[in-house]
Structure 1
Amino acid sequence: MENLIFILPIFGVIGLAYMLYLRAWVRKQDAGDEKMQKLAGYIKEGALAFLKAEYRMLTIFVVVAGILLGVISMLVETTHWFIVIAFVIGAAFSAIAGNIGMRIATDANVRTTQAARTSLIQALKVSFTSGTVMGLGVAGLAVFGLSTIFALLTMTFMADGYNYMDMTIVLESLAGFSLGAESIALFARVGGGIYTKAADVGADLVGKVEAGIPEDDPRNPATIADNVGDNVGDVAGMGADLFGSYVATMLAAMVLGNYVVNDHTNGVGMDDAFGGIGPVLLPVLVAGLGIVFSIIGTFFVKIKDENAKEADVQRAFNIGNWGSIILTGIATFFVIQWMLPENMNMSFFGEGTKVISSMGVFYAVLVGLAVGGLISYLTEYYTAIGKNPVNTIIQNSSTGAATNIIAGLSQGMLSTFFPVLLFAAAIWAAYAFAGFYGVAIAASAMMATTAMQLAIDAFGPIADNAGGIAEMSELPSEVRTRTDILDTVGNTTAATGKGFAIASAALTALALFAAYVTFTGIDGINIFKAPVLSALFVGAMIPVVFSALAMSAVGKAAMAMVKEVRRQFKEIPGIMEYKAEPEYDRCVEISTEASLKEMMLPGLLTIVTPLILAFGTQLLTGNTLLAAEVLGGYMAGVTVSGVMWAIFQNNAGGAWDNAKKSFEAGVMIDGEMTYKGSDAHKAAVTGDTVGDPFKDTSGPSMNILIKLTCLVGLVIAPLLSSDESHGAIAQKKIVEVKKEIIVDENGKETVTTTTTEKYK
């Protein structure tokens, strides 16, 4: 079964093959009348134009970063030049993952609208199937790309069997793949988030608040840009985001799996049927199984009643989600018993040696799967219509926008309580069961059902676009009613998808952090050292400043959008009477230009700051290990602060959004039914406008900020472990000397000495 390493890419191929089948089915569905197709064409054209411009800019970044990685590979013996190729492939795959989602979403939106003309059941089927295309595209590319590169590298470096140093070189090169994926994800998420919220805020402030026209009214010049933004931000950006997260979790677990193999066997490899690297291969196989069971889970997402409400649709998603999670957990039990020995020895930093059992690893898997399900439940509670947090915001809307905003901020802050306790308990439990390897495996298990999670998440923007097309095409009210049901659920599923990504960041960051420690060889992070404590504070500050930059970028772009929409209302006669068509393309241009310009500073802040801290400390003190500790302190600060800010912003924004939507069906405030158009509704619109960049720009970018920071640390770790007495890269050498006395036929004795170096 050593050939398992070459079988793993097949799981990715299965996901991609089924994705192509579903994509063909979606494209065969009715795209509606000429007017609907014309509007959908505007949206698709604008989305493609943005991605083209964005990828042109990111190509320059990839070239520059690739050159720097090439320099690192020349300076450090254990970093191979293939890290550059892996980086480029990772960046390309991340871009492709987002592109797959964006293209199917812009094909599916109008088809969902047309399906909603006949039934809610069919509209859900079209939109969710389209989301599944994106989910399988992301998961399939991640498993196929990472496992294929891993197989090629092991064939190159480990033809003679397992060697810790050789596997370290393989995984360090593979870190380039993950770094490329996360780098593109950051810019895609930030750029897409700025784009979508600039258009959305501009459209809401002038259209709904000032002009008093409905959302997605065809007279509003910013409506096309708003719908384009749903695709480039919530679809293409989210696809690249979770692609990077998926790869990072597998990589972290593989690095720690290599540490387990080396520590348990003194560098000779496991006595197993998998080339001695069972713990290294396990996370990739778990991810592959997750693809299969995500496909099975999609068959459970359906409704049978045409009069179904939001709760019924949400229940269908929950059944599919939990079904895939439970099936993955059951299968993983048998896989772990098959691949791992009953007990493994692993030394922990400063804690001696601990015995890890295969059952302990399985329990860690259950912890990860539970976190994935529970974080969805918690996020749903804090953001769903009918739940107490949203109702609190609704009630506070009756006294104006100020109290609405205060309520939204407080609910967002409170929403950090239970998720953080969940993460803390999960980390502690996974560590108790199987050490840092258990934490990494828990993260991998949670991400195993990414295909299902992303299918549920991507469904939301598609439904949102479908409603916009229905409004702009002036279709019968029952069509918009059906799409609004899906859109309302989509707001919650989008929030739960972001919560899932945050949970992955929390667990993956710790696993990457542990991998960083093994690569640098530091014994821990001592905050009683002034430079380390300083770096901890700097790291905690970065998510705050990053959020401010992202919010400011949205504000600047939104101001330009507001001015443009006001100009068109004033200077183009006949717009409000439907006698003239607005200049949609001008609003698309404004969002594109603003987002591409404003995304660079937050992105560079993320990548450059850890480099300055690490190498600046090394230059000032001449102490390599202190520099490694300083960077570790910085990474810890970014992680803890970033998780808090991500939860707060995502949940506050999601709750504000659904509070606004609640008024469309009518809500009870102080004993009276209150509807859309009331003063309370207008206050809720203002709150939603504030929350938009929270939940769609700065909030979702936090998890990428966390993981990219840790990946940058992992990639430059070889440069921070030059002291030969420390580090997994610099290597502590265990030298075994064997003496043998050979007596020839004449009775003469000859002493031969054999020296063997092993790495630990």
Structure 2
Amino acid sequence: MAGPLTHRTLAAEPVLTSGNQVLVWIIAAVALAALGLAAVLVRQVLAADEGTDSMKKIAAAVQEGANAYLARQFRTLGIFAVAAFFLLMLLPADSLSQRIGRSIFFLVGAIFSAVTGYIGMWLAVRSNVRVAAAARAATPAPGEPAADLTTVSHRAMRIAFRTGGVVGMFTVGLGLLGASAVVLIYRADAPKVLEGFGFGAALLAMFMRVGGGIFTKAADVGADLVGKVEKGIPEDDPRNAATIADNVGDNVGDCAGMAADLFESYAVTLVAALILGKVTFGDSGLAFPLLIPAIGVITAMVGVFAVSPRRSDRSGMTAINRGFFISAVISLVGVAVAVYAYLPSSYADLKGVGADISTHHGDPRVLALVAVAIGIVLAAVIQQLTGYFTETSRRPVRDIGKSSLTGPATVVLSGISLGLESAVYSAVLIGLSVYGAFLLGGTSVWLALFAVALAGTGLLTTVGVIVAMDTFGPVSDNAQGIAEMSGDVHGEGAQVLTDLDAVGNTTKAITKGIAIATAVLAATALFGSFKEAVDTAVTKAHPSTSDARWLSLDISQPSNLVGLLFGAAVVFLFSGLAISAVSRSAGAVVYEVRRQFREHPGIMDGTELPEYGRVVDICTKDALRELATPGLLAVLAPVAVGFSLGVGSLASYLAGAIGAGTLMAVFLANSGGAWDNAKKLVEDGHYGGKGSEAHAATVIGDTVGDPFKDTAGPAINPLLKVMNLVALLIAPAVVKFSYGVDADLAVRIPVAVVAALIIVVAVYVSKRRGIAMDAGADGEGADGSPVGAYPSGSPAV
């Protein structure tokens, strides 16, 4: 894509035929069926036993804390949503109808993303105690009969995975329903309106990912540093004031945040596919990209129920892998049938396409099938690759565990080296997949970009099972925490939960890897959509010959190279801000937990209860306070680059962000996942077991990895898509005020300067905040404010 932006032959505006209208209605019905299955799974999960009164009490505290946090988060995000709604109305569009629809469906996308995240949290905090109760059946109270250990393990795992299945069905159901509704209502205008839908989903998901990630890891790091390292008590010991906040964080971060993240990946990939589908496949391009994920919805239903453990399974991961691969194979077969039943054998037979596409040689069915197959195969390979680097039974994690014998420094070094190495393999796989799909387009850039988007939809066919895998992790983690805090699950029952937690760590790492692959495919396809938007805007602007240099995407041009560097730099700054926020908040948690141990000595001997609610309050306030800076950076950085340096530099900025973001996200996710499971490996009795120096070393590694894998790493996924969507939305305005008859420096420069100034001020304010690590012995923060002196009111056990 080097050289000037070329003008394509514009096609006649596609209008949905009656046959395609019927197909989209059927797809909408499939989406509703997914929501219906979610309701069935909810009833199955809630029918399980909740365990003892003590377990119920702890679970209720976690539920109340998670609900309180999300309610406050949604109130905060509502301000951003309203502001974005009106700003979208100001951006150029072909008609008032498009502007209104784009803004309305921005809110719909944001609401659907919020609903997906909230449902994930709502059920997870009810499922966790049921999983713990199921495991308790292996070691019941005296006088109660003990159940078969294998049966107990399988029942606990089934409850946890079907909880994830509910979230998976909401993700695919709402994503497909929203996109189908836009196509049915707006038809030819659907791609422009879908930009708003995708932007709403991505923006809210990024905020939920960052906020939830800061909350969960501040509590987790604080709990580990004081509880495990300083006091030598277990991870979920009820004497630790941060335990409730830690369990709340698992739900608002890994459940709500990741569910919203995968929902926006689903929505944004559909947006990119439909925009490019309209350009390349005409009328069929507004229906076919919906057909592929609709098949995935059906296969996801099969996959969720296929995860049924067997006695012959080596571990819970075996059953999960089986369900995933069954779903993937059925999806590939279903797509092959759909492609050959729906698409013609020649591009000339596609209705509503331009001359440059209709004269293209080849079979559109082959392009579609191979592109989708690339996406499905990529998901399967990423799943195996990530599992290799993060499973406790594989050599990389065992090597980190062994390095604990020489102290925390070697644990940290080995984890960093593992993350860096694994990022290369993942980037190569994703890059080869993108390039392989691109080659399918032959001489047509637009067909090549559409093939990349179709590869993304192929990966979407596995999203239902992927989301279920992800939610399985925090549910298992919470179940172990509730069991340990209540003291009602011992022996073999406790080991069942430990094993499930280790599997959950792996599934979370795998889903992060696949989410990253989805983000890159979606961002690449959006890059193509950006090119289409620029081409259209250039045609209207009538640029002069002197503008050709600034319209060029040639990377040898200094302004474009600067844009590329800025894009990569934003990924680093965003990651640094997220990790720094966790560090500050975790420091506050450390001082609060230490204060409680110091001022209430009865906590350690069990005669006093900790003030759990104070830690929940600290994490809530810090997480919500830290949301603004990363969000402003993601939204305003493309504005500053585009209006100051031009559209070529903006395109380069996106390329730099995609490249750096891919490597950074995989590095952070895999390092953190490997450190976490290395700790589990030692806790299972290797290299000295719990309480040994090796254990302390792996706890340090896990603490470093917490903000890597659960805050900064996952937040890069929505960051990439938010920036691409902002660039796509502002592209017409950048072209209009930069080139041709309407060029106006009096508009461009003030917009760029204001955007840059807001970013600088936001980062400055963020860095000026007190760092709790600098607190003095009297418990005051660096800024003089009392650490932990936030008003209480959150739940206490």
Could you tell me the TM-score, scaled by structure 1's length? 0.87
**Aligned pair 1:440/2:473, yes or no?**
no
Determine if the alignment matches structure 1 residue 196 to structure 2 residue 216. yes
Partner of 1:547: 575
Match runs of 1:343-742 below 5 Å:
343-344=346-347, 355=362, 357-434=364-441, 435-475=448-488, 476-521=490-535, 525-617=553-645, 627-667=646-686, 673-722=687-736
The superposition leaves residues 333-383 of structure 1 with CA deviations (integer Å, 9 ceiling, x where unpaired) of 111112222122788999x95645311210111100000111011000111
User: Separation in 2 of the partners of 1:234 and 1:334?
Assistant: 36
Residue aligning to 1:70: 89
Contact 2:424–2:663 under 8 Å retained in 1: no
Contact 1:349 1:524 in 2 (8 A): no
**Match of residue 270, structure 2, among 230, 250, 257:** 250
The aligned residue for residue 300 of structure 2 is: 294
> CA shift at 1:538, angstroms?
0.3
Please state if 1:100 is matched with 2:119. yes
Tell me if structure 1 keeps the 8 A contact 2:237–2:484: yes
Contact 1:506 1:639 in 2 (8 A): yes
2:323 aligned with 1:320, yes or no? yes
Distance across 2 between alignment mates of 1:191 and 1:216:
23
1:137 aligns with 2:174: no
1:335 maps onto 2:348 in alignment: no
1:212 counterpart residue number: 232
Instruction: Select which of 153, 165, 180 maps to 1:120.
Output: 153
From the superposition, tell whether residues 103 and 511 of structure 1 become closer, same or farther in structure 2 (CA, over 3 Å): same
Separation in 1, partners of 2:401, 2:84? 48
CA RMSD of aligned residues (A): 2.0
Superposed displacement of residue 76, structure 1: 7.2
Cα deviation digits, residues 405-429 of structure 1 (max 9, x gap): 1111111101112211111211111
Q: Could you tell me which residue of structure 1 aligns to residue 756 of structure 2?
A: none
Provide the secondary structure at the position in 1 that maps to 2:347: strand
Structure 1 stretches of 4+ moved >6 Å:
74-78, 345-350, 723-726
Q: Distance in 2 between matches of 1:637 and 1:280?
A: 30
Matching of residue 183 in structure 1 with residue 197 in structure 2: no
How far apart in 2 are the matches of 1:78 and 1:429?
Answer: 38
Q: Is the 8 A contact 1:356 1:433 kept in 2?
A: no
Question: Aligned AA for 1:135?
Answer: G
1:104 Cα deviation from its structure 2 partner: 0.5
Q: What code does the residue aligned with 1:680 have? A: A
Which residue identity lines up with residue 109 of structure 1 in the other structure?
N
Q: What are the Cα deviations for residues 442-491 of structure 1, in whole angstroms up to 9, with x where unaligned?
A: 01110122111100110110000000000001022322211111100000
Alpha-carbon offset, residue 223 of structure 1: 0.2
TM-aligned CA distance change 1:34 to 1:170, over 3 Å: same
Listed as ranges, the gaps of 5+ residues in structure 1 are 155-166, 263-276, 618-626, 668-672, 727-760
**1:590 and 1:723 mapped to 2: Cα distance?**
46
CA–CA distance in 2 between the matches of 1:524 and 1:196?
44
- Tell me, yes or no, if the aligned pair for 2:310 and 2:319 is still in contact at 8 Å: no
Alpha-carbon contact 1:383-1:492 (below 8 Å) kept: yes
Deviations along 1:381-418, one digit per CA (max 9) or x if unpaired, are: 11110212112211211111111111111111011122
For 1:431 and 1:678, the matched residues in 2 are separated by: 52
Give the fraction of aligned pairs with identical amino acids, expressed as a percent.
Answer: 40
Counterpart-to-counterpart distance in 2, 1:19 and 1:145:
17
Deviations 1:645-669 (A, max 9, x none): 00000000000000011012222xx
Rounded to whole Å, the distance in 2 between the matches of 1:180 and 1:443 is 19
TM-score by length of 2: 0.83
Equivalent in the alignment of 1:745: none
Taking the aligned partners of 1:721 and 1:608, their CA distance within structure 2 comes to 17
Instruction: Report deviation, 1:149.
Output: 2.3
CA contact (8 A) 1:379 1:495 kept: yes
Aligned-partner SS, 1:416: helix
Give the aligned partner of residue 623 of structure 1: none
Gap regions ≥5 residues in structure 2: 1-18, 138-151, 442-447, 539-550, 741-797
Counterpart in 1 of 2:23? 4
**How many residues are aligned here?**
681
- Structure 1 partner of 2:78: 59
Q: Distance in 2 between matches of 1:590 and 1:512?
A: 38
One-letter amino acid of the structure 1 residue matched with residue 483 of structure 2: A
Q: Which amino acid is the alignment partner of residue 318 of structure 1?
A: N
CA-CA distance at 1:298 after TM superposition: 1.7
Shift of 1:7: 2.1
Cα gap change, 1:575 to 1:529, in 2 (>3 Å): same
Give the deviation of 1:79 after TM superposition. Answer: 4.4
1-structure distance, mates of 2:289, 2:119 = 25
Distance 1:527 1:353 in 2: 29
Cα gap change, 1:218/1:545 in structure 2, threshold over 3 Å: closer, same or farther?
same
1:463 and 1:109 map into 2 onto residues whose CA distance is 7
